[in-house]
Every structure is written in structure tokens, then in C-alpha cells.
Amino acid sequence: MRNRSLTPFLIKIMNAPVRFILDAIRSEPPSEARAPNEGRWLLRRWATALLFIILYLLLDRSTVYFQIWPGISAWYPPTGLAVAALVGFGPVCGIVVLVAGSIASSVNYHVSVFTYSFLLGGPNFTLIYLAAAVILRRVLKIDSHLRSIRDVTWLLLVATFAAGAVAFVGTRLAVADHLVPVEDYFRASLSWWIGDAVAVGCITPFCLIFILPWLRRFLGYGDTANSANARARGIGRHELRGYRRVMESALFTLAVFTALWLALEGIPSHGNGMFFLVFLPLIWVAVRRGLRGAAIVILALDLGIIVLLRLNPEPSTELTVLQLLMLILSLSGLVLGSLISERDLNEERLSEKEGRMRLLLESTGEAICGEDANGDCTFCNSTMLTLLRYSTQDEVLGRNLHGLIHRHRRDGSPCPSIGCELASASTLGRQYHGTDESLCRADGTRFDAEVWSYPLIQDNQALGAVVTFVDITERKEAQESIRQAKEDAEDAKPRDRAGPEEIQGAFAMTKVDDLHKKWMKNKEYRKAYEELAPEFALAHAVIGARVSAGLTQEAPRTDNRAELLRAIISRDPHGQLPQPCPVAAGQ
């Protein structure tokens, strides 16, 4: 029991430094989902840190064979790995990078502990690249997944300048330790700088694009909005799919191997003069697959070059030239790939916006269309096609809108565009509102419509208009029915007696008759009504007669009683009054 109670406490003690560093540097917090299993996430972090150190040592070991000066290699892939970790996860990885660099200096390069290179080289490397990562994350605020040309450009610029600072300071420490002659200080610094820059342009983008998103989820960090959107998009809209994509990938692989063989092995007499051949597959892949494809090919080309140099060693002077070529290769491939990816992303965003606008246009009940300065239709929604009885947009787009919907007047005579207010509104940049227009359909029939025209104006120049209209045929029929009903009601009443109360009485009688027909379907109501049928007949006759006589609900006047009796008798089919019930007679 005591061990179980101590376990959460120990986990908190071990996790406290990590939390403190995260809060101090304000890096991105882990996902809320990790809270119930902090021990598991902590174990994954320590395992990942150990794996990082091992991978750092292995990459550092591979550079021993390409040293131009003691401790200075033609390329240094651990730099690319360290920059990717610092940019992706923040300064919290600085301690791990420092430990990995110190172990690598001692194990791989056998640097003595009591030297400037060991005591100051590791902190110099870590602090400068840590400052670069903070600038990229907090000041420039780039997307660590490299979604745009801006992100790639700032990453390359800041990391390259940081590599230069690390190179010149580190070489100065090597000179102090008598590892590099003083007269070779500038050349050694330049080689160190280019080697780190090549690694940043090769390893860092690959890790940020392909490894970082998965590693963030594995360590309990939530997906950023950009990362989630990228995973949702998947393959680009211009890329092949299915077996054709597999075949294209095979051709890419063959092109890379062929270019490497021709540039470095197949034509050795030309030296580095044939190196331009490796640019061909890089350009091809970057255009077809964007930044993701370019990052893979750059890594494959650089690894291929290093392996071929291991098999066929070159003089140090040749290595310096080859370093510059590898750096140019990486920079050009990343820039081209990011341009292609950003173009595809912008096209996709534009397509999404057009889709949303199209959805809005299709969801409205009004007919909407656009016309340019010449009056030709540029877009329309499905409501317009339905009202005008066209099957597809191809029958409407590009045609003159006036000739399409307003070519005839209400009487059937032609309506020329010259002098038509609706047609001239778009060219003159004026608004137009027609409350009762007659528009033409595809089959030649016409319908009544209410029309609005809103001009499109840019830089005080009319570019066209947006025209909307609705079918008001049913509205006009309803208005006509109401008008006709009012006229019939007025004609049915004596002009000197008709008033509001008489009209209300007529409507009340109509409503009672409707309710009576509905209630007669009920058995109990029908039985009760049949028992009181004489009383209802008398009441119905009296009320109907009063309404027909134009009387109100007030007590009848003496001079109207004769007319009331005549009306009641006229409503009986035998010309006699209905027999009143005893209650009525008693009253």
C-alpha cells in the first residue's frame, strides 16, 4: 500500500522539472488527453530522449569518415536533427541536445574533457541553435510543418546564419586546442558552416514534415490546426493516385539513381561538371509532389552523394566544391517544392471558398446571376435555371442577359436593350429595382417577377452587375383574389347599411358552418345536434336573416322587423316560419 501511495508522488517529482521548463519557456502544452496517464507519457518522453541521443551518436559517427580538418566534416547531419527537435518541440529539447553533443564529442571524436572544444563547444552549439529556434517559433512564428514559402525561407535563413555563428566560434575553439592551424581558420570555418547548412537543408525539413507530426501525437501533444488540416487533405489535387502513383514513384527512384551514377560515377573524367544532372530528378519530383516530394529526394540525393564519396574518396578541395553543390541543391529544391505546395494549397483554399459561395447561391430561393460590362451572363444558380426552365448552366453562361430574360415586353412586343433600364443599369453602374417586370422563359412563356440589379464597381469603373429576381405570379394572384373578395363583399351588402359589424357577421357565419361540418363527424355531437335540430334551425334562420337584412347584433328597430320576418319566411322552403321550441315560446 505504501508503494502504491508513493508512485504518484514519485511521478510528480520526476515530471516537475519538465513542467517547470515548459511553463518557463511557454512552449506548446501537452494535450489534455494525457492527464489521466501521466506516467505513460513521461515514460515515452524519456524513451524518446534516449532514442534521440542514440540516433545523434550514430549520425555523428557517420561524419567521422568525411572530416576535412579534425572535428570538421563535409556534412554534419546531427545539426539537422537537433534543429528539427528545437524548432518542433521548443527549447525544452536543449538539454537533450547538449547531452548528446557532449557524448558524441567524447566517443566519436575522442575530444579530451579538459579542452575548449569539449567544455565550450557543446554549449556554443546548443545555445546558438536554441536562440535560432526561439526566434523562429516566438518572433517569426513560422509553422513548424513548413506549409508555405515564408516558413521555408525563414527556416533556411535563420538556421544558416546560426550555422555560421556556430562554425566560426567552434573553429576558434579548435584553433585554441591546436586542432586546426591558425592559417586555415577561415577555410575550416567556411567548411564547417557549409556542412551544417547542408544538414539543415537536408535533414531538418524531412524531420519537420514527416516525423514531427507523428512524434507529437506519440508524446501526447495535440495536433495543431494546420497539422490536422494537412492530414485531412492527404494527397494533393494535382498528384496521381492508385497504381499510377506507384509507377510514378518508381520512375522517380530510377531517375535519382541514374542521375547520381552519371554525375559521380558514370562520367568520372568530367569531375563535378556533370553534377547538374542531379537537379533534373529533383525538379521533376518538386513539380509533381511539392515540398514533401522535394524533401525526400533531397535526402536521397545527399545520402547517395555521401555514400559514393565513401566508396570513392575525394581530395579535401573537391569536398569543399561538392559541399557548395549540395547546399545549392538543397536550397533550390526546398524553395521550388514550397512554391509548388503553396500554389496547390492556395488553389485548394480558393476551391473551398468557391464551393462555399456556390453552396450559398444554391441554398437561396431567389434567382441570382451575374453579368459583365457587356451584359453577358457570367454565373447563375439552380433557382434561376428552374425559373427560366433551362437544363444546364451551359445554356445560359456567356449569353446576353437582356436577350435571355427581358427580350419582350408584357404585351409581347420586342424590348430592345437600348432604353431598357434593367440592361443599362449594369453598364452605367446604377442600382435598379423593378417591382413588376415581365421576364421570358426558355420555352417563350413569360412570368411576373420582381427584379433587383446591384452594380459591381471597382476603381470607379462599372465591371458588371449582380441580378436577382423572384417569381411573383402567385403573389399577384393572391392579391387579386383578396381584391376580388373585397369587391364581392361590398357588392353583396346594401351600400347604406354595410359596415364592419355586418362583414364580421358574414365571416362568423362562414366559420361556424365550417366548424359544424367538422364536428358532425363526431357521433356524440351529431346525436346531440339531431335532438336540438328545431332550435338550431330557428337560430340559424334568425341569424341568417339579420345578416341578410344588414342588421347589427343590437336590438332590432321597429322599422326593420317586417323586413326581418320576410327574410326569415324566405329562408324556409315552404314559406312558413320554423316551429320554435317550448323554451323559445315561453320567452
The domain boundary, picked from 199, 234, 269, lies at 234
Q: Are residues 356 and 374 in the same domain?
A: no
What's the confidence (pLDDT) of residue 293? 93
Sign of CA dihedral 250, 255, 260, 266: positive
Task: Give the domain extent around 393.
Answer: 364-476
- Reported as type and span, the H/E element at residue 585 is helix 582-586
Number of domains in the chain: 4
Residue 399 sits in the same domain as residue 546? no
List, in order, residues 6 or more apart from 63 with CB less than 8 Å away: 73, 74, 75, 76, 77, 78
How far apart CA 542 and CA 35 sit, in angstroms, is: 84
108 within 8 A of 61, measured Cβ to Cβ: yes
| Residue 173 included in any domain | yes
Q: Looking at 304, 338, 362, which one is the last position of a domain?
A: 362
Q: What span, in angstroms and rounded, lies between the C-alpha atoms of 42 and 64?
A: 34
Cα–chain center distance at 364 = 22
The answer as to whether 486 is a domain residue is no
User: Does 42 map to a domain?
Assistant: yes
What lies within 8 Å, CB to CB, of 567 at 6+ separation is 544, 545, 546, 548, 549
Domain shared by 441 and 468, yes or no: yes
- Same-domain check for residues 332 and 373: no
Say yes or no: 29 and 170 in one domain: yes
pLDDT tens per residue, the chain (587 residues)?
A: 444 444 554 455 445 444 434 443 444 544 444 444 667 778 888 999 999 999 999 988 887 766 655 555 667 899 999 999 999 998 888 999 999 999 988 888 788 888 888 899 999 999 999 999 999 999 999 998 898 899 999 999 999 999 999 999 999 998 998 888 898 899 888 888 988 999 999 999 999 999 988 888 888 776 555 555 555 555 666 777 888 889 999 999 999 999 888 887 654 444 556 778 889 999 999 999 999 999 999 999 988 888 877 777 666 666 777 788 888 999 999 999 999 988 888 888 888 888 888 888 888 888 999 898 888 898 899 899 989 999 888 889 988 888 888 887 887 788 887 878 888 887 788 888 988 888 888 888 889 999 999 998 888 888 889 999 999 988 888 888 888 877 777 766 554 444 555 555 555 555 566 666 766 777 776 777 777 777 767 666 666 666 665 555 454 444 454 454 455 445 444 444 444 444 333 33
Same domain, 195 and 67: yes
- Looking at the structure, tell me whether residues 229 and 181 fall in a common domain: yes
**Within a domain: 485:** no
What pLDDT is stored for residue 568 in this prediction?
Answer: 47
In a domain, 239, yes or no: no
Report DSSP letters for 55-71, one per residue. HHHHHHHHGGGGEEETT
CATH number (domain holding residue 371): 3.30.450.20
| Residue 240 lies inside a defined structural domain of this protein | no
- For 458, phi then psi, to 5°, come to -140, 125
What's the CATH code of the domain at 6?
1.10.1760.20
Q: What is the dihedral of CA 92, 93, 98, 104, to 10 degrees?
A: 170
Looking at the structure, do residues 212 and 170 belong to the same domain, yes or no?
yes
User: Same domain, yes or no, for 152 and 56?
Assistant: yes
- Do the domain assignments include residue 315? yes
Residue 471 sits in the same domain as residue 505: no
User: Is 488 among the domain residues?
Assistant: no
d(CA 436, CA 440): 13
Give pLDDT tens digits for 155-199: 999 999 999 999 999 999 989 988 888 988 998 888 889 889 999
CA angle 288, 291, 295 (to 5 degrees): 105
User: Of 203, 234, 265, which marks where a domain is finished?
Assistant: 234
Please tell me whether residues 417 and 538 are part of one structural domain.
Answer: no
pLDDT single digits (tens) 402-445: 888 888 788 778 888 787 888 888 778 888 898 888 888 888 88
How far apart are alpha carbons 342 and 149 in whole angstroms? 7
Answer whether 180's CB lies under 8 Å from 60's CB: no
**Is the domain of 162 the same as that of 259?**
no
The pLDDT of residue 33 is 43
